Structure 1
């Protein structure tokens, strides 16, 4: 079945090439080497090779280069990733391969999001997209793992993928030198009169202690679309804080302890309850305060032993949304349905997630087989405040997982297993519900030794019931007793080398095709129904990432995704099946630029999307957007350490609605952004 499904992409896969001998090994401290090697390219984005995982890393340079207002805006350039409903921290959501944020809820639980190890993101909050409410200037890198095969160290039921964010460290500014350092960033945007200020102070009193403080304020008025109309409900004001400290101790510095706390707040008055649209509609307006905070304490013991690389991460995430209906804002006041609207608008929402993850990475051999094994234990507790829109409760979970990268010559085989058990306890007398599941997958890669490698994987996962499945009706009782099941197959190839077409050039290219099948569905209903769940969801697609750079500094980056999906209704319904409502648009992103050493970087970016639909499923026209970017870094005098960035987004002032967005929420028109930053 897999071969038949992927037959149409065989030609593309044959052109997708991999792991170079010249790549420098760059491993993450929280996982085994199966996460791959970052290959330095001549373009904007370094690519990951030597792994069957579709992994993309957006580093601090690209974070600054994109001048994004939200993290969702930042990573929608990753193949298969869709930004749902816009450009505000409160309303935008992340969808990967058709799963995650959707047109009804901020999350469907099929992507995992972590900040410094803390699990964040809303549950199924109706018409509220607070999946990742934070500011991009707090982070030094964002990593996106697409699909299921790389998810077993992060959670269960992951179908779309994993997004992990790492906050900045003091040593990123001090570069290991003792004393004070820091930076100041100012950003201005013409569309919406946006302004952002980010101030960082770093202090390293000894080579074994470092401290960082950051305050970021981002403010934006309502944006303007390409046709000159105002985009309602697009203004925001979000102050953010980050405090971080790291201590190294022990005779040889074997022990380290890192503390981080980050928080973002928005206090909005008289804004639409429905964050996906541009006006109050029949829900009306609310006064809403959104407060999201993450705290993590990370301990690592890494002695001079291949068998011990121990890490313990204790985290707490608190997402609070206080809401109060604004009288007179709904046209349904005085009607029988108005009571339900007021109850929904006045519902305060809060999720608190406490989690302890303990892992150990061991390197060892058994005969001719080399092992890079990660084993872990995870304990978590999620509390949901009782609200009129959904019952409250507690979700206790325990999980065990192991991932073993086994190398035999040019062959790498990586099996992964995760066992998870949950207990949901209702705070309103609905009962206690237990569930458990065993899931896992295997990845296989072969390195030809000449820069070319091929890979494939198969993965199975189960999504355990969530707190929002609680209820006394027949639909809720059915869902709380089930697990959603999914399997994904992937196949692809990659290539990377130097001196390919000319002396000193670099070429890196990677392509992979995937097929995903989801069944025993509890999170999606048949169109037009609130009780009948879909029978199945089937998706397939092809992702491509490539970079080519010349010794002269000229570079070309390519990223793209094509895919299809279908949703199958239960037998006996009027429509047997239709196009999967959350299928990503077909998208091609091309960047052409030139660098002059580290001083100048000029680039043009073209993003073309077709096969697009709005939130209601109506077809949208194809759209091509052009962006220009320029970076200047003085290297002499008092300006040394400064950066000047100019971005011109939507150069041709295109009028369009984003894929899966409300038809009333148009994309921003032409925007000029200016960023000034200085390290000291």
Structure 2
């Protein structure tokens, strides 16, 4: 394998709109590759690192999804630097935070991160004391991509300062290898803590070399968990069936037309549980049913032309939460929520030259309509938006200069006579990079975004007429090489500094007030990812993040930012060995410092040990099977997760056994 650090740009990361990377071979991608996203450096650890771009980007592929044995998407992505899971014992109550934004102790979202499933926008409603609404199962997905910061977000939305989480569902070709016939996989997972049981069945039919069909049914169930002291974690049980249906097709003499249609659905059903999914505060108990559905139709036209690579994605997301109080009447508890989001995104990528400059140009347009039913706890209405975006990577020699722009217009109409409100904003950024040609590269970026008002702001004349402003600056470097220290070894390391500042704030109020908003929020942070491996199969992965931040009142009073992420260091030491590297054993240590609970009380530092092992038999009757054994919280430590409720401690020692067979 040749490892090269190349010029990269926001454009290439925004081109995640293009066909996602398939299972990656042991190669380095170049500009001629069909779905270029910047150089992908294949590292010897559990996670591949993306190089050649100023965007902080981490990809969790299908193999790592299986190895981590996560029960929720939140538990999967919280291993990424600056990503943290809040109240993560169940899909309903957990929230995802990136660089201190996203979920908080009151709402599951603050509109500063975006979550997409096959391009469908999900999990963005500010429902009081309810999680992110990202109710879905990791078994449905082949890849999860996490973009951190603003510079890579302009193709996905406005007001994003935390980042973007993009989930891509499994393809029929992942199982059939594009060969006509039927294939599939059966996965069975057992967990001793909470007596968890998961069954995931996938069937794929490659009707022809151009048409593929896939169906997956996953049923995940769990009783109440125990913490490190052996006590029951209340309301940590759940039952969540999930469904994925997908069809893919390729048309044209030169395979220039690609079509994919996917449908995902997850349902959870709870009886006599606290309305408050975060801390279990005594609002009362409810019977609650949550159902989330997403449909995405994706079309790509990629003829033999440098000027045309057209992509159109039409998506629909429907999330419905139905709750009823167990005893008596309470308008907060008897609050059915439903919100539907329809979105059409069209983009084209062109490669061209103007004199000495080579351009990789992405131009796109987006039309979105969000409809939200009126509820006693949240206003209803309709949010119509359209947006235009442009990202142009200009490269010459070892330099790259990439401007990025997004214009977005919003019209919000109240369902209850609160009026109609219009707003618009132009936002953008600039990324710079230089490749020294010896494996070392540097990059920098500056970006400004605007968070336009949302349906939740109806009824507040200040918030509905104010667009939040966010500015982010980043500076970083990367190095990748073979034989960096010893013959036959591989090293890849990337680090970046960032600072983010919010003004014209509408999302956060002054402590003790329900109306007065903060004047300013500022966060400064450092992120580091690295991987190193030897020719004998020994490898180590490292992920590190630390941050500091302040929030300031209009009167000038200042304090530590209430949603500041904890400092976190995660180190994995492992080895692959045996014929065909059929064995993979790893020891993961996670140390978290500067922690506090949801009430702001300081918590002690924590160090958690996890063990993971994978066996893939080579040949014989067990060919096509995989066995995984994981031990989480090996020493059964009692601790409360960062920004979690003191009443929701983390699970104690948990042993998971997974068996899968391909057929």
TM-score by length of 1: 0.93
Residue 584 of structure 2 corresponds to residue 601 of structure 1: yes
Where does residue 623 of structure 2 map in the other structure?
Answer: 640
* Alignment partner of 1:228 is 2:230: yes
* SS, match of residue 376 in structure 2: coil
SS in 1 for 2:174: helix
Whole-angstrom CA distance in 1 between matches of 2:394 and 2:662: 43
Counterparts of 1:336-485 in structure 2, within 5 Å, are 342-471=330-459, 476-485=460-469
* 1:529 corresponds to: 513
**1:18/1:510 contact within 8 Å kept:** no
Q: CA deviation at 1:251?
A: 2.0
Separation in structure 2 between the aligned mates of residue 518 and residue 485 of structure 1, nearest angstrom: 6
Whether contact under 8 Å (1:18, 1:494) holds in the other structure is no
Residue number in structure 2 paired with 1:19: 5
Aligned to 1:9: none
Q: What is the aligned partner in structure 1 of residue 54 from structure 2?
A: 52
Counterpart position of 1:8: none
Where structure 1 has 5 or more consecutive residues not aligned to the other structure, the ranges are 1-16, 329-338
On the 8 A contact 2:348/2:363 being kept in 1, the answer is yes
The 8 Å contact of residues 18 and 508 in structure 1, kept in 2 or not, is answered as no
**1: CA distance, partners of 2:191 / 2:430:** 46
Q: Tell me the equivalent position of 1:563.
A: 547
Cα pair 2:502 2:522 within 8 Å, conserved: yes
Deviation at 1:23, TM superposition (A): 6.3
Among 637, 652, 656, which residue is 1:669 paired with?
652
- Does residue 504 of structure 1 match 2:501? no
Alpha carbons 1:18, 1:493 under 8 Å: kept: no
Separation in structure 2 between the aligned mates of residue 202 and residue 86 of structure 1, nearest angstrom: 32
Where in structure 2 are there 5+ consecutive unaligned residues? 8-25
Query: May I ask how many residue pairs the two structures share in their alignment?
Result: 641
Counterparts of 2:393 and 2:622 in 1: how far apart (Å)?
A: 47
User: What's the TM-score, normalizing by structure 2?
Assistant: 0.95
Q: Which residue of 1 aligns with 2:18?
A: none
Q: Which residue of 2 aligns with 1:333?
A: none
Name the SS for the 2:492 alignment partner.
strand
Q: How many Å apart are 1:29 and its aligned residue? A: 9.8
Corresponding position: 1:518 with 2:520? no
1:148-163 equivalent positions in 2, closer than 5 A: 148-163=150-165
Contact 1:312 1:359 in 2 (8 A): yes
Cα deviation 1:489-530 (Å, max 9, x = unaligned): 000100000011111100000000000000000010001110
1:626 aligns with 2:609: yes
CA-to-partner distance for each residue in 1:213-237, whole Å, 9 max, x for gaps?
0000000001000011100011000
Cα displacement (A) at 1:123: 1.1
Distance 2:38 2:104 in 1: 30
Offset of residue 267 of structure 1? 1.2
1: CA distance between counterparts of 2:636 and 2:6?
41
Q: Hey, what's the Cα distance between the residues in 2 that align with 1:656 and 1:218?
A: 25
1:592 pairs with 2:573: yes
Find the counterpart in structure 2 of residue 209 from structure 1: 211
Between the aligned partners of 1:561 and 1:156, the Cα distance in structure 2 is 25
* Match runs of 1:173-188 below 5 Å: 173-188=175-190
Kindly report which structure 2 residues correspond to 1:324-343, keeping only aligned pairs within 5 A, or say none: 324-327=324-327, 342-343=330-331
Q: What secondary structure, in the 3-state scheme, does the structure 1 residue paired with 2:581 have?
A: coil
User: Could you say which residue in structure 2 is the equivalent of 1:334?
Assistant: none
Deviation at 1:131, TM superposition (A): 3.4
1:90-169 matched pairs, under 5 angstroms: 90-169=92-171
* Shift of residue 428, structure 1, vs aligned partner: 0.5
Match of 1:582?
Answer: 563
SS state of the match for residue 468, structure 1? helix
In structure 1, C-alpha distance between the alignment counterparts of 2:31 and 2:293, rounded to whole Å: 28
CA deviation after TM superposition for structure 1 residue 390, in Å: 1.6
Tell me how far apart the structure 1 counterparts of residues 501 and 245 of structure 2 sit (CA, whole Å): 42
C-alpha distance after superposition, 1:280-307 (max 9, x if no partner): x421110000000100000110000000
Q: Aligned in 2, Cα 1:27/1:138: closer, same or farther, shift over 3 Å?
A: farther
Corresponding residue of 1:299: 299
For 1:322, the equivalent position in structure 2 comes to 322
User: SS of the residue aligned with 2:461?
Assistant: helix
Counterpart contact for 2:385–2:408, Cα < 8 Å: yes
Offset from partner CA, 1:180-214 (integer Å, 9 cap, x none): 00000000001000010000000001111000000
Q: Secondary structure at the residue paired with 1:64?
A: helix
SS of the residue 1:63 aligns to = helix
